[in-house]
Chain A
């Protein structure tokens, strides 16, 4: 069992908790099945009785302090530490063989620069402005993307009308939008939010569409035979069936929103973590470049995690699904 668990973790780091739960649950079921086989009880009708299943708290503890959980985080921390050490020595030895580390700030310099930034107020301002842009652009993209995706998934006509634009615009990188965005939007802020919004929009649309299209036909039939009309089928069958894909689209969209935002902030004249990073380059503050980059990475990861956590309550039925 521990090997299995580790395996599941290695395969899909993002869904670790999900996998662990599943495995623990399966072990419980197998055990019960064997005990009930040996001593059948009156209420057992088809050989499954779960009265012996460990409680929620016990299972949570098993997952949290189980060897796999500790090992996973140990390995992950170790990997990051190794990365920092390699970085340190590459800089310390002025590594210059095709890739040049001579102008890269050392981990210690970056750390010093980070603590300095964190003690001032300007750095927080940059972060706050970026977060605000992300929030506006992302909420817009989520609302528009999910609505469009749902309609496109259910209607051939809507799909044929919108899909060509999605296919055509999706490969255009955010940076390529900068000139046109500046020309189109009255304010700089508008251009940046627009570019960020576009980045998040396409993955959300496409995942929603595929989620709707994957609705099992048998569930639609079941709902119809129970008396459900079109709108009820949409609300009770199509929408929940698409939710796992919508959640994926939202998570991917958040990641894309961040690197689109960074492209957009090149044109920003004052604030934003992308602006901070870009300015650091111009001002030859090489340590701040890395501070900016790591901040972006951290914020991106944190916000994607936030999206997943927000969606989790809607997907709890999936925890034991195959």
Chain B
């Protein structure tokens, strides 16, 4: 299995080189500051504190994973950065400016089925540049660059329903990047994929991130995924949603899937695992009392 992944990794490298000559992402942009944010839903009996007094600072170009069990509020926190959810208290700052709504400076990749089914791959990726009124290069030219980057040039004229789940997510990533955002927000993007495809996607994502150097905030419940991808893993606990551990991942880059056999990798993984386990036990006990 590892052989397949390695093989595909080299294949990926061959398909990636076409990059925009001048990336529009300025260095030192993409600083995210989550400042004492609380998010609650409902009132009275229905009241639910999804995120509680959370503060995080993410450096430009950093790859940060938020790891936690389902329902712990990690997606809600991501949605606050995206601008879909307004914090009940506190605020989210992007490069010093308060986030008030969704915008093209933050590319969003969803778990699944977020491509416009009535648009072809090219039309999907060109959508952002078109909406932003890009004239030169044309939206189509931008789209083709990014479609090539994710290795789907042959599928540019296909509709999403004709693609596999992994391909659809690659289009989703290309679409998010086509606006040259300073931040990429990813909400369990590979959660619905089979494990082989997921591994390949993780590697491709790291390559793309390496070339772009943009900030990535990546939500997942998969410990291996979080440790393999991130510079930091933020472990989140449930009810109320809170960051309970900030674990730095000081593993060399570029990372190879073989790193999963590395002692440091296992140590960090175990650390995450322990924190998550404590939390899930606690959450489980809470639900049953």
Give a binary string over B99-118; 1 marks a CB under 8 Å from any A CB, 0 the rest.
00111101110100111111
Residues from 265 to 322 in A contacting B, C-beta threshold 8 Å: 316-322
Min Cβ gap A214→B in Å is 12
Q: Hey, which chain B residues are within 8 Å of A40, CB to CB?
A: 4, 7-8
Q: Is B47 an interface residue (CB 8 A)?
A: no
Q: Is A221 an interface residue (CB 8 A)?
A: yes
The number of chain A residues with a CB under 8 A from chain B is 35
Q: Hey, which chain A residues are within 8 Å of B167, CB to CB?
A: 46, 48
Q: Is A45 an interface residue (CB 8 A)?
A: yes
Q: Hey, which chain B residues are within 8 Å of A216, CB to CB?
A: 113
Q: Hey, which chain A residues are within 8 Å of B104, CB to CB?
A: 225-227
Q: Hey, which chain B residues are within 8 Å of A221, CB to CB?
A: 82, 84, 102, 108, 110, 114
**Chain B interface: which size bin?**
35 or more
Q: Is the beta-carbon distance between B127 and A236 smaller than 8 angstroms?
A: yes
By beta carbon, the residue of chain B nearest A229 is B131
Partner of A228, one of B8, B131, B164, B166: B131
By beta carbon, the residue of chain A nearest B175 is A226
CA distance A44 to B12 in the complex (A): 9
Partner of A48, one of B128, B159, B164: B164
Q: Is B271 an interface residue (CB 8 A)?
A: no
CA distance A14 to B163 in the complex (A): 26
Give a binary string over B114-137; 1 marks a CB under 8 Å from any A CB, 0 the rest.
111111100000011001100000
Q: Hey, which chain A residues are within 8 Å of B28, CB to CB?
A: none
Min Cβ gap A60→B in Å is 17
User: Could you show 23 A-B contacts with beta carbons less than 8 Å apart?
Assistant: A40-B4, A42-B11, A43-B11, A43-B151, A45-B15, A45-B151, A46-B8, A46-B167, A46-B170, A46-B196, A46-B197, A48-B167, A51-B154, A216-B113, A218-B110, A219-B116, A222-B110, A223-B116, A227-B128, A228-B127, A236-B127, A320-B161, A321-B161
The chain A residues found within 8 Å of chain B, CB to CB, are: 25, 40, 42-48, 50-51, 216, 218-219, 221-228, 232, 236-237, 240-241, 243, 316-322
Q: Shortest 9 CB-CB distances between A and B: which pairs?
A: A227-B104, A46-B166, A321-B161, A226-B128, A225-B108, A240-B118, A224-B102, A317-B159, A225-B102
